[in-house]
Amino acid sequence: MQHPTSDPARKAARRNARIALLCGAIFAGMVGAAYASVPLYKAFCQLTGFDGTVRKAEAAPSHVLDRKLTIRFDANVRDLPWTFTPNQVSQELKIGDTGLAFYRVTNNGKTPLTGRASYNVIPESAGLYFQKLECFCFTDQTIQPGQTVEFPVVYFVDPRFAEDFETRGAQEVTLSYTFFPSTEKKPQAALGENAGARL
């Protein structure tokens, strides 16, 4: 004879299994969304200039304004035994004209180390108009112990900068880079693809 509680017990077990499966699926979805949100946020920032993120351009503007801006350069390092400095403190550049600046990195450690530079501009509202044609910030950079490398940055300020009410009164823009240890596995024997000249 069947025990009177066996059928409800089986139903409860099935219900609990479904709930556990649903919770597991939701958790997996949340983890996946968290990982996907990082590149999506980065892409959004690069597209819109949000939060002072510098945009990468394919070509320089077709016209140059008479108005000049002072471009200042800043360099920082987090959790790497590197010395990282801009070769120039500032440059004066006409809006729409193309500028060339250099940053210098020295690995003071005893092993090859790989870093990746993040970047932004101040004021944040200038991020939409400050664009780069060439930059070392889009790939990992591996530097050998004791080695010094120079990285070029080719940039311009879009002429629309002078029309936007949030930026048209600005007299200077600061381009800031910060090198962090790379989280990707890279060969330690070679420099990153965009590395500059060895010194």
Task: Provide the Cα torsion 169, 175, 176, 179; round to 10°.
Answer: 160
What per-residue confidence (pLDDT) applies to 30? 61
31 falls in which pLDDT band (50, 70, 90)?
low
Range with the poorest average pLDDT among 132-136, 153-157, 170-174, 176-180: 132-136
pLDDT in tens, 53-64: 455 556 678 899
- Interval 11-25 mean pLDDT: 72
Euclidean distance between CA atoms 41 and 62, whole angstroms: 30
User: Is the Cα torsion angle 41, 116, 75, 100 positive or negative in sign?
Assistant: negative
Closest Cα to residue 80, out of 171, 177, 155, 194?
177
Q: State residue 159 phi and psi, 5-degree precision.
A: -55, -20
CA dist 197 to 23, 45, 85, 102, 104, Å?
53, 30, 15, 11, 10
In DSSP terms, which residues pair with 184 in a beta bridge? none
Predicted model pTM = 0.66
Q: What's the mean per-residue pLDDT of the chain?
A: 80
What per-residue confidence (pLDDT) applies to 128? 93
144 falls in which pLDDT band (50, 70, 90)?
very high
Instruction: Report the chain's terminal Cα–Cα distance, integer Å.
Output: 89
Question: How many CB atoms neighbour CB 128 within 10 A?
Answer: 22
What per-residue confidence (pLDDT) applies to 145? 98
Closest Cα to residue 144, out of 199, 93, 96?
199
- Of 31 and 137, more confident: 137
**pLDDT at 103 > cutoff 50:** yes
189 falls in which pLDDT band (50, 70, 90)?
very low
Both structure tokens of 134: 């060439």
- Of 38 and 19, more confident: 19
- Interval 71-75 mean pLDDT: 98
**pLDDT at 190 > cutoff 60:** no
